[in-house]
Amino acid sequence: MLLNILTAALLFGLAVLLAWPLGRYMARVYAGERTWLHFLTPLERGFYQLARINPEQGMTWPRYVGALLVINAVWLVWAVLVLLVQGQLPFWNPDAIPAMSFSQALHSAVSFLTSTNAQHYSGETGASYFAQLTVFTFLQFVSAGTSLAAGIAVVRALGGRESTNVGNFYQDLTRSCLLILLPLCFAFSVLFLLTGVPMTFEGAGAYTSLEGVAGTVARGPVAALLAIKELGSNGGGFFGPNCAHPFEGPNFAAFALHHLAVLLTPMAFVFMLGYYLKRPRFSLMVFGVMTAGLLLLLVPAVLAELQNTPFLNSLGLDAAAAGNLEGKEVRFGVFHTAFYNSFNMAIPAGTVVGAQDSFVPLTGAPFMLLMQIDAFFGGLGTGFLNFLVYLVIAAFVASLMVGRTPELLGKKVEAREMQLATLVAIAQPVVVLACTAVAAYAWTTTTDAADSLKWLNNPGAHGFGAMLYEFISAAAGNGSGYESLGDNTTFWNLLPCVAMLSGRFVPIIGTLVLAGGLLAKSYTPPSVGGIRLESFTFALLLLVVIGILGALLFFPALTLGPLAEYFAGK
């Protein structure tokens, strides 16, 4: 156990050490300063000239949002069209994989467009190499770039004074993809190759087993997809089992790379705050609150998996030394499987090495809370957008408690800002609970639902938890799911699209509107007796606000799912 804890701490610490200089580099990129990748500037300018874009032309928040939405709509149409005709395309499809149905194509396109990467298909049998690269890998890049662009626009607005210019979306998107994501992905792809991850355009390989039975094993351009799936907080696997597949994680070295990659960029964005805003103590406060919140939910989730399960107790067996081995990656053990899956709920990559369906209820509940809060590091760029909502509310509450005018980073927080923050905070829970209610109503009112709908292989509290988890995962941009849910149906392909689109674009639009309003306000210097955002007291209050808003909104639903399952002794 001690070795497992030390290994996990080492991986987390190494990610922090790498994220700090990366955050400084990101700040220099977005500030337009010279970096060690300055030689790519002609290529960047070439993109602008090709697209007839003036990168120096600033945008107001409505124009920024409009540009973001329009280009995302274009990407969505492209993705759906390719998935509908992939079976008829004569290239990069050596295994003759057929086209998807419309509902599955739409779900897959929306899923990757929103960085959710929920897969109602198995990657190696559901998508051709052409679709893997030109749809899924492409969307993983540009969706991560969009997240970074939205994030830096909000940060830029927080640091600006009496202006309407939040930046140029196309410039932010290009710099995010070309100067940040592409170099990182190239480096990590090479490292994945060195650990044994395949990278080929040949079809499935033939083999003969020791028993003399002939078979085939899927392969493909895996290494190229793995890097951006982790670094971009995406999570969609080339293979159905995701990181549990030996070609995605052939050894512990590859597993460690997955750890580092998925933690690196969200952490770096937090450190970038301090460099860009020239307030390093503020970024350290944000990092501290995010880390504390993550540990408060991660530790109980891991400990729950290390205990004896109710089923084994009923058999009179004591497996506490091994923990809950069901659905775990036995090469890495229960501890590392639970640890990796846990922080992949906080950082909504959703890339997993164990079956979420097989985790005990006291692990499932923290998983859902980590996804719902979506602010303990969260997604690349978008994690801070969710954190900002809680930050505004906490600053408002703290200021009123001490009798001061509410303000944030020198800007007054007034009724409009509170209305926007509240709207964004409750939008995701409302959508998730409404969609879950629709699914539960459809299941309970359908005659002989188990045979006609075939949604739930595990009905009761666990089945309700599976439906709730699907929508929380969709809205949070996570993409993982309980595999006992029969999700490749028209209903489950279409309804989660509502949760994915709202969970993606409501926080982006809402925080851009909020930040744009703060940008237009005059700066008020800090005064004696005002709220110090960098203080321990405010950090503690902020953590409490996140807990109240993020957790209690879902507590009634959790009592019907994982908590009911736990008290039923399952």
Q: Which two tokens stand for residue 268?
A: 């770096």
Question: In the prediction, which pLDDT does 315 show?
Answer: 72
Tens-of-pLDDT digits for all 570 residues of the chain?
A: 788 899 999 999 999 999 999 999 999 999 989 888 888 889 999 999 998 999 989 999 999 999 999 999 999 999 999 999 998 988 788 888 999 999 999 999 999 999 999 999 888 888 898 999 999 999 999 999 999 999 999 999 998 888 889 999 999 999 999 999 999 999 999 999 999 999 988 888 888 888 888 888 888 889 988 999 999 989 888 888 888 888 988 999 999 999 999 999 999 999 999 999 999 999 999 999 999 999 999 999 999 998 877 777 777 766 556 678 888 888 888 999 999 999 899 998 888 898 888 899 999 999 999 999 999 998 888 899 999 999 999 999 998 888 888 888 888 888 899 999 999 999 999 999 999 999 999 988 887 777 777 788 888 899 999 999 999 999 999 999 888 888 889 999 999 999 999 999 999 999 999 999 999 888 877 776 678 888 999 999 999 999 988 778 888 899 999 999 988 876
Determine how β-strand 214-217 pairs with β-strand 407-408: unpaired
The angle at the Cα of 241, spanning 333 to 81, to the nearest 5 degrees, equals 155
Supply the pLDDT for residue 271: 96
| Predicted confidence (pLDDT) per residue in 69-94, tens digit | 999 999 999 999 999 999 898 878 88
Calpha distance 231→535 (Å, rounded): 31
CA dihedral 344, 360, 333, 233 (to 10 degrees): -10
Angle between helices 333-346 and 252-277 (to 10 degrees): 30
Other Cβ atoms less than 10 A from the Cβ of 197: the count is 24
Rounded Cα distance, 137 and 203, in Å? 18
Do 372 and 468 touch, CB atoms closer than 8 A? no
Distance, in Å, from the CA atom of 502 to the CA atom of 474, rounded to the nearest integer, reads 9
Show the domain range for 522: 2-205+214-567
| Burial zone of 264 (CB within 10 Å; 0-12 exposed, 13-18 middle, 19+ buried) | buried
Residue labelled with tokens 């149905």 = 101
DSSP 122-164: -HHHHS-HHHIIIIIIHHHHHHHHHHHHHHHHHHHHHH--S--
Q: Which residues pair with 408 in a beta bridge?
A: 411
SS (H, E, C) 61-130: HHHHHHHHHHHHHHHHHHHHHHHHHCCCCCCCCCCCCCCCCHHHHHHHHHHHHCCCCCCCCCHHHHCCHH
Residue 563's contacts (CB-CB under 8 Å, 6 or more residues apart) are 361, 365
Measure the CA–CA gap between 216 and 214, rounded to whole angstroms: 7
CA distance 427 to 431: 6
Contacts from 434-443 at CB under 8 Å and sequence distance 24+? 435/471, 435/495, 435/496, 435/498, 435/499, 436/464, 436/467, 436/468, 436/471, 436/557, 438/495, 439/467, 439/471, 439/491, 439/495, 440/464, 440/467, 442/491, 443/467
Instruction: Specify whether the CB–CB gap between 297 and 558 falls below 8 A.
Output: no
The CA distance from 6 to 181, in Å, is: 30
The total domain count for the chain is: 1
What secondary structure does DSSP assign to 172-219, as a single string? HHHHIIIIIIHHHHHHHHHHHHHTT--B--S-PEEEE-TTS-EEEE--
